[in-house]
Chains A and B, each alone.
Chain A
Amino acid sequence: MNPLLEQFLSEAREFLQDIAEKLMQLEGDPDSTQMMNELFRLVHTLKGNSGLFEFPEMTRVLHAGEDLLDAVRDGRVNYSQELADRLLDAMDFVNLLVDEVELKGSTGAGHAQNAVRLAESLRQLIGSAAVETFDAADTLDSADHKIPDLSELTALPEQLRMALYRGSLNGAELLLVEYCPEPECFFKGEDPFYQVRQIPESVWQSVQSLEPWPQLSKLDAYSCNLVFRALTTALPEELYELFRYTPEQVRIVPVPAIMLVLPQGDSNGGPVYDDFITDALKFLDADDLPGLKASARVLLAISAPSLWLSSALSWLLLVLELDPDNRAAQRTLIASLHTLTAPLWSTVITTIDTVNEDDSKPQLSTTLCIDETQDFDAILQAQREILAQPDSDLWLNGRLTGVASTLAACHRIAGLTDGLPVLSEALAEALAQASASPLRSWLEDYAPQQAEVPSAAMQLVEAAEPANEAVEEESKVQLGRRTEDIYTGPKTLKVDQEKIDLLMGLIGEMVVAKNSLPYLAVKAETQYGVRELSREIKSQYAVINRIAEEMQDAIMQVRMMPVSFIFQRFPRLVRDTSRKLGKEVNLFLEGETTEIDKNIVEALSDPLIHIVRNSLDHGIELPEVRRAAGKPEAGRLTIRATQESDRVYIDISDDGKGIDPKVIKDKAYEKGLIDEATLERLTDQEALNLVFAAGFSTVEVISDLSGRGVGMDVVRNAVEKVNGTVSLESEAGKGTRIRLSLPLSMAVTNVIIVESDNQLFGIPMDMVVETVRIPRSAIHTIKRRQTTVLRNRIVPLLALNDLLALDAEPRTNEDDMLATLVVRINDEHIGILVDDFRETVDIILKPMVGIIGGLGGYAGSALLGDGSVLMVLNPKELV
């Protein structure tokens, strides 16, 4: 399986679990906006991820979930149990799809209807904004119309219809596709006409207006008002696939072969064939098909071919040949000679009853649709099996009564009321005899096994089956996978991340523990005077040290992942997004093999997607605009990863329109993020940095692509969470570059130990630019701030003692030099004056807890080899 997909799957599972947990937590605390925001983010991101693959059903449902949560966030909709339930349902569905993806690598189009249903059930909760409301009852209602009126099929040449009829009975199922695109579909880039033209094997086409065309002056060419229909012998799967993105606008219905039997022609002479009709029905009653055929052939031979009669007779002969048991159809066809009008098969089919011998008065008062007929049969079959159970059970009478009420109910709904009075008698008898047999005979009488007498209705069922079977087959596969052990030996071992984290923690402790050995060696020599032992400890230490370091490296390696994991998504993302936007973009990926810690890779994926989308959405211009600006039509987007010592840089640069600092300033002022004085004072670069400010978004209209208000501040926060930094450079008209600077790994922190006021502190090395000793004479006071010049750069100086509120002056060394630690904070260099530098060590940083945890300025604490605790500073918050 391709790693991206694998990554998606494991991420999706985590997300789904988180989503479920959040939903549960929200039940206890429905007003928590923080939790709601987090939930929204999860769904939002998962949707985004799924959009990178061909999982339209998954995306559809997640999208609806996202919209719903968005509405909740905005206070348009209140959180409710119902809402949580439906979201959970939707996530179950997504989980199901994830399972399927894992099993087969893709999702089948068979889920489309469910996706539509779930998405609608979510959107329904949004209320007024809902596009369509879903009501489960609709499903049944629409099922009523499942057999369409296809009298227009007379437009098809009779020869063709006959060929199709023959084919259909031979298994080439005929399907009707009805596609009613939504009015605004053109704005979504859809072209329904093109779409329907892709229907394979279509034998009949129809295009009509949905509503009558308005006055031409009021005609809106861009509001789709079309209904397409086609008959095809293509496989249902092909059609579902073709209309995968708009399943809710398409109906695919099997057309029973009999629907093609539409006699046509000259009705000249009127109905004068009564003798023939009487004879024909007699033949039929006597099961004398040869006689009926002969009689029909004689009449056909003496009739002009153009007559309606001839057509009907030809059809009758064809039906007798191909579908000899379909008495109902034959009877109806013969009866149609009375009226010389084509039979309305859609009514006939559903009113056929196998027991009913009287065709003048259909027995069914209400009709069943295909699905119902199928399920009706299933229920009858179940009752047969129930009645076949042993009669000895104590609860037999209850069971029999249950069967009787079941039979009564479903016969009533099917309109088969004749047997109902007898049914109560049969039940009474059965209870009296303590035997199922009276009910069994009732079933024999009123609902014989249909397999013995195939009817048109049965064929309908069969015709409808293949698609359903495919679906059932699918769900069986999934069920099988859940319950059974279809275990294919994996090539790689999947390990729970927690276990790796545990290993990482342990090795960290080991590194610290081994660091105590040198102290022990010193102690052995100085305190106990055992020099020999001291030396031995030292040599053992060297061995342990080497092993520990290798182990640490190895574990780190396990956690390292190539950035290609996230880069892989981009070609597709860029392609799709730029296509949607009508832009041309060439994507260049560089340094994909650069490796970085898993946590960081994960933390990076959202921000990167966001940056790339931003770039496509707002950076790169439309081809016309670019041409006008003298640039090549295709924009250039580069994503490059590079490693420099212990940091990895990811640069996302485009050659788009860049960012105008003035626009940023004005916007920030407008939004109240800066005051007038600041507005005047800000440099261009400072203005650009404002895009990272919370609550800032340059585009007013929330675009479909960049998402909703997940702005650059979120990107910055996500990057900073993993000790990374983000910076932006832009030149109006030329393009924008965003650089993420990230630590290679986050498990072990390399800190430099400094001394100040006789205390030791650690400072993360990833913030340290350099350590220098500055002569006191090189310190200048500018505007009451102490500064010095380092490499042609003014560096402000701050004493660590001051920052920590320690009441002492920085100490100089014997040469009157001040130890200065230059750190980088928001791209600015600041010198921190300390008393002295010590060694650098690798430590496992433990976050601060308790009261100290609330204090800014500390990144955490760490245990040193000698057992002492080192406080690690966070200069960023300190300064």
Chain B
Amino acid sequence: MKRILIIDDAATVRLYHRNILEAAGYAVEEAVNGIEALEKVMQTPFDLYVVDINMPKLDGYGFLKEMRRQDIDQAPAIMVSTEAEADDRQRAYRAGANLYLIKPVKPAELLIHVHLLLGEVRA
């Protein structure tokens, strides 16, 4: 079972994503900020990250940069944000995200992307 880490300070958003992903058969874990996320990743890396931008302590950009820089994990990461600004997208890409989606991400949309990023061949 592929493992996905949801990093978001908003419980509702975490639940939202968790529901979608779990329903599709993924093992989901949560972190409420970048620091907690890094701690989790250092224990065991995940197959995919769904990262919010604005979070207390360490934000999504910081988390991704740190993870990429320290070679903690290089698995695909989706950055999820409410901002549709091109600047933010570029910033996310620079920080190490592999995809940038606008909230609220529709379940089917999220699933297809997750599916593709995990390179899973359907049965």
Contact = CB atoms under 8 A, between A and B. Distances in A.
Interface of A: 85-86, 88-89, 92, 114, 117, 121, 134-137, 139-140, 143-144, 366, 371-372, 375-376, 378-379, 382-383, 385-386, 389-390, 393-395, 397-399, 401-403, 405-406, 408-414, 471, 475-476, 479, 482-483
15 contacts: A372-B116, A375-B112, A379-B113, A382-B99, A389-B93, A395-B65, A395-B69, A401-B74, A405-B74, A406-B76, A406-B99, A410-B117, A410-B119, A475-B104, A479-B103
Contact of B120 (A136, A406, A408, A413): A413
Nearest to B71: A398
Contacts, number: 144
A139 to B, nearest CB: 5
Contact of B19 (A85, A144, A371): A85
B62 to A, nearest CB: 11
Give the 7 A-B residue pairs with the shortest CB-CB distance, closest first. A398-B68, A409-B119, A395-B69, A401-B74, A395-B68, A136-B23, A136-B24
A406 B117 contact: yes
A697 to B, nearest CB: 37
B49 to A, nearest CB: 10
Given A137-B24, A398-B96, A401-B74, A92 B112 contact: no
A88 B19 CA distance: 11
Interface of B: 12, 15-16, 18-20, 23-25, 65-71, 74-77, 82, 84, 89-90, 93-100, 102-104, 106-109, 111-113, 115-122
A399 B96 contact: yes
B98 A403 contact: yes
Contacts of A409: 76, 116-119
A378 B109 CA distance: 11
Contact of A412 (B65, B69, B71, B119): B119
Contacts of B117: 379, 406, 409-410
A398 B67 contact: yes
Contacts of B24: 135-137
Contact of B98 (A383, A414, A471, A482): A383
A414 B121 CA distance: 8
B108 A139 contact: yes
Contacts of A144: 122
A399 B96 CA distance: 5
A137 B16 CA distance: 16
Contacts of A398: 67-71, 74, 96
Q: Which of B77, B112, B119 has the most CB of A within 10 A?
A: B112
B12 A88 contact: yes
B25 A137 contact: yes
B116 A379 contact: yes
A393 B66 CA distance: 11
Contact of A402 (B15, B98, B104): B98
Nearest to B68: A398
Nearest to A371: B112
A86 B112 CA distance: 21
Contact of A413 (B104, B106, B111, B116): B116
A383 B96 CA distance: 10
B74 A372 contact: no
A371 B76 CA distance: 20
Contacts of B122: 140, 144, 366, 413
A525 B95 CA distance: 84
B87 to A, nearest CB: 12
B10 to A, nearest CB: 12
B101 to A, nearest CB: 9
B8 to A, nearest CB: 14
B116 A375 contact: yes
B121 A402 contact: no
A176 B25 CA distance: 31
B15 to A, nearest CB: 5
B75 to A, nearest CB: 6
Given A114-B106, A475-B106, 18 more contacts: A136-B20, A137-B23, A137-B25, A366-B122, A375-B112, A382-B93, A393-B94, A394-B69, A398-B69, A402-B76, A405-B74, A405-B76, A406-B76, A408-B119, A409-B76, A409-B117, A410-B117, A413-B122
Contacts of A375: 109, 112-113, 116
A873 B108 CA distance: 61
Contacts of B111: 136, 139-140
B65 to A, nearest CB: 5
A316 to B, nearest CB: 35
A137 B112 CA distance: 10
Contacts of B23: 121, 134-137
A483 B83 CA distance: 9
A403 B68 CA distance: 11
B102 to A, nearest CB: 7
Nearest to B64: A395
A389 B90 contact: yes
B93 A89 contact: no
A479 B84 contact: yes
A461 to B, nearest CB: 13
A522 to B, nearest CB: 62
Contacts of A134: 23
Which among B16, B71, B109 has the greatest number of chain A C-beta atoms within 10 A?
B109
Contacts of A366: 121-122
Contacts of B116: 372, 375-376, 379, 409-410, 413-414
Contact of A379 (B67, B84, B98, B104): B98
B39 to A, nearest CB: 18
Most buried by B among A89, A394, A397, A406: A406
Contacts of B115: 140, 372, 413
A385 B93 contact: yes
A402 B99 contact: no
A134 B107 CA distance: 13
Nearest to B103: A479
A366 B116 CA distance: 13
B96 A479 contact: no
A403 B64 CA distance: 13
Contacts of B99: 378-379, 382, 406
Contacts of B113: 375, 378-379
